[in-house]
Amino acid sequence: MTTTVTEDTFLEMVQPLRRELVAHCYRMVGSVQEAEDLVQETYLRAWRSFHGFENRSSVRTWMYRIATNTCLTALEGRSRRPLPTGLGAPPGDPTAELRTRPEVSWLEPLPDAVVWGAAPADPGDVALARDTVRLAFVAALQHLTAQQRAALLLKDVLCWQASEIAEALGLSVASVNSSLQRARAHLAKLDEDATPRLADDDPRLRHLLDAYVEAFEAYDVQRIVQLLTADAEWEMPPFEEWYRGAEDIGRLIRTQCPAQAAGDMRLLLTRANGAPAVGMYMRGPDGVHRAFQLQHLTVTPDGVSAVTVWFDTDLFRRFGLPDHLGPEGEVAALAPGEAPHCGL
């Protein structure tokens, strides 16, 4: 490109891509904070090399190429980000002492608001985008090598040709096809027995979520158990154990949860990875409900089939949730300019 381009003009061209690039980098690295940092690095790299952009591809393709290679560089020598179910251990004993794995960098949730700031025009595009950031899919990606991850995302999510991927990654077409074959074989088991999730516009979803919130706030463990599927799974990094079965999950809550009575817990609805989530607040000795855990829910027609819980309360601000709740549950202590994302 021979025409001089100002920084403002450059940003006008690439800024509309920021949300989708964050989603792409999140799929690669499994952390929203890292993904946002990598997108910023992508923009810096793109600006420095913009004089070499010759319109042989679209700006979007060019930016994805830079973002992918930025992620690959960041992932060199790094361990994957698993969830407890991905460590290979059998389900745990809900009455046993909880054990943490501080050396593990766990997979993190993606706030919907980071990716979907405005309603997209095509509902079909919305469904596809949400499917490609669903928690189970991103967790499965973490079991692939970085190169396999990149090839799969560029091919199956962005619909690039194998020759385009080979050029972007500095590989042969044969190497790309080999990586795709291995990646697809590994992911083939992901949806074998999966029950379809309830759609966002299905009235059963809101009814079940309301019942779930009410059951926790009432500390009605039996009701919580009834809202889970019989083979539901529960995991909660940084604790390494995970649990299977509604009854075992009920025992876990009765044994390990610090709540003792109705009103000890309050929940705010939010969204993560294209699915419902809740921020839970636990009442302290002073009567104040403070941020305690964030739950991601997989909701099927038969009930809640999976719950992933994070105890990192820094996530609350990232989700636009308050640090604590004021009297009678009103929100308080939001970060400047933030508001709770409680819609579905």
Residue 2 has pLDDT above 50, yes or no: no
**Which helix (H) or strand (E) is 271 found in, with range?**
strand 265-272
**Predicted local distance difference test score (pLDDT) of residue 316:** 97
Residues 272-297 have pLDDT tens digits of 999 999 999 999 999 999 999 999 99
Task: Report the mean per-residue pLDDT for the chain.
Answer: 89
Instruction: Output b/e per residue, 89-119; b: 16+ Cβ within 10 A.
Output: eebbebeeeeeeeeebbbbbbbbbbbbbeee
pLDDT (average), residues 56-84:
92
Dihedral angle over CA of 24, 32, 86, 243, nearest 10 = -130
**Which helix (H) or strand (E) is 19 found in, with range?**
helix 18-29
Residues 167-199 have pLDDT tens digits of 999 999 999 999 999 999 988 876 665 678 999
**Predicted local distance difference test score (pLDDT) of residue 80:** 92
Q: How confident is the model at residue 122 (pLDDT cuts 50, 70, 90)?
A: low
- Please indicate, yes or no, whether the overall pTM of this predicted structure exceeds 0.75: yes
Which two tokens mark 297?
A: 């829910």
pLDDT (average), residues 58-76:
95
Residues 207-264 have pLDDT tens digits of 999 999 999 999 999 999 999 999 999 999 999 999 999 999 999 999 999 999 999 9
Distance between CA atoms of residues 307 and 258, nearest Å: 18
Residue found under tokens 């943490």? 100
pLDDT (average), residues 84-94:
95
**Predicted local distance difference test score (pLDDT) of residue 193:** 58
Q: How confident is the model at residue 119 (pLDDT cuts 50, 70, 90)?
A: low
